[in-house]
Amino acid sequence: MADTRTAVVTGGASGIGAATARALRDNGWRVVVFDLPDALASAGRQPGLAHVGVDVTDDAGVRAAFDGLRADNVRVVVNCAGIAPSARVLGRSGGHSAGLMRKIVEINLIGTFNVLVAAAEVMAANEPDGDGGRGVVVNTASIAAFDGQIGQLGYAASKAGVAGMTLPAARDLASRGIRVCAIAPGLIDTPLLAGFTDEVRARLAADVPFPHRLGRPEEFAGLVLAIVDNPYLNGETIRMDGALRMPAR
């Protein structure tokens, strides 16, 4: 598969992950979707995409999945797997659960770390391009990393960790020709927001300075493609939020 360019998208069964997988496929990439087996079964097989059941919190499982792609010229990895439960430090039923905090951090931050490390190990063996580049990893942070709202303690902390690892990871991997960037999306119209009423969705959209609407998963995917195509983008966390700065609630 020497002429094949492979991209891996975690959390690629739905939302921004699915949109990113389709966009990469439509731009000539061979795309491998990593997601939980149940999520893959619920989403169904998407044409032109390969699917592998992977739990990003399972370090050994992530490494095994990437080991299976060593001959496939993996050049792009996009980390979209994540969860966003809400809980306050002190709620009606008591203090924030340490177990929930661990789960959020394990999936959003440690899961991203597991994929980053395993991807770098595989990419480091790639033949370099004209700039000496061997690949790029795009992680998903959130504007909550900077503007965390009430009830977002765990989510904001985990996404701040993703943003915080971006520059040191890029510096660590510079000698290997591997770039690392992150996208911090704002209010994106994903299944997470689909459960809200039209009134709530309209209110959320109205808070966005411009354009006055929710972001689209395809816009996230478009930014991924821009990062992939621009070899001078490295070590940066890019907000994609229509100039929104989240209020406390």
Backbone angles phi, psi at 189, to 5 degrees: -80, 80
pLDDT (tens, 9 = 90+) of the chain, 249 residues, equals 446 899 999 999 999 999 999 999 999 999 999 999 999 998 888 889 999 999 999 999 999 999 999 999 999 999 999 999 889 999 998 999 999 999 999 999 999 999 999 999 999 999 999 999 999 999 999 999 999 999 999 999 999 999 999 999 999 999 999 999 999 999 999 877 776 778 878 888 889 999 999 999 999 999 999 999 999 999 999 999 999 998 888
CA–CA dist 104, 158 (Å, integer): 7
In whole angstroms, what is the distance from residue 185 CA to residue 238 CA? 8
- Give the C-alpha separation, 46 to 178, whole Å: 29
Residue 108, sorted as left (phi over 0), alpha (psi -120 to 50) or beta, turns out to be alpha
φ, ψ of residue 183 in degrees (nearest 5): -115, 135
User: What pLDDT sits at residue 47?
Assistant: 87
**pLDDT given at position 233:** 98
Task: Indicate the SS3 state at residue 201.
Answer: helix
Q: Which of 17, 98, 30 is nearest to 56 (CA)?
A: 17
Angle between helices 111-123 and 59-67 (to 10 degrees): 30
d(CA 29, CA 135): 13
What is the pLDDT, as a whole number, of residue 193?
76
Q: How far apart are CA 237 and CA 168, in angstroms?
A: 12
Which residue, chain included where needed, has tokens 């395809």?
218
Q: What is the CATH number of domain 6-189+217-238?
A: 3.40.50.720
Show which residues are catalytic. 155
Quick one: pLDDT at residue 1? 42
DSSP H helices in 81-140: 98-105, 111-123
Q: What is the per-residue pLDDT for 225?
A: 98
CB 33 within 8 A of CB 25: no
Domain ranges of the chain: 6-189+217-238
Helix axes 153-173, 98-105, angle to 10 degrees: 30
Strands of the sheet containing 237-240, edge to edge, are 49-53, 30-35, 6-10, 74-79, 135-140, 178-185, 237-240
pTM of the model: 0.94
